[in-house]
Amino acid sequence: MTRNILSLIVLTTLAAAVSLKAEPAPSADRTSSKNASKVESQKPKAKSKAASKIVAAPSLVEGWNYVKGEWIHPDGYKYVKGQVIRTGAQTHKSPPKPPAKSLLNSVKTKPAPSPDPNSPASKTAERERNLAPRPASQTGTHL
């Protein structure tokens, strides 16, 4: 019985190893440069006013991304309290420059204006807060 199970495991492992191919995946740089050259070669030579130009969104030059309230760099660094801190494995590269002040200021949220206290919506919200049931006190004993 154990020989059958072991032979089945070995056979399954061998079949999985044979089915895998060791071909390098095309990198994004190679395909994008090929596609860019194809697009340039396919562009019409005549200029027309109706033709619109498609421009890709600019990527962050510095590489910093603002994710869930934190500045994260793809090389494994975080920007915390004005300092660049390594969070990933050591790459033997110099740490990236911190994000620019304009980039830091671009994600700051502006406080929402407070509603007028005499408006009907604020009065309704206050009434709902006051009428909401509150939990019972837990200080007494029930003897």
Does residue 88 form part of some domain? Answer: yes
pLDDT value at residue 42: 53
Buried residues in 63-72 as b, exposed as e (16+ CB within 10 A)? ebeeeeeebb
pTM exceeds 0.85 for this model: no
Strand 83-86's sheet: what is its strand order? 65-67, 70-73, 77-80, 83-86
pLDDT at 127 over 90: yes
- Answer yes or no: is 85 within a domain: yes
Flag whether 66 is in a domain: yes
128 within a domain of the structure (yes/no):
no
**Does residue 129 lie in a domain region?**
no
**Tally of domains in the chain:** 1
What's the mean pLDDT in 24-40? 52
The whole-chain average pLDDT of the chain stands at: 74
Is 80 part of any domain? yes
Average pLDDT (71-80) is 87
- Domain limits for position 102: 61-107
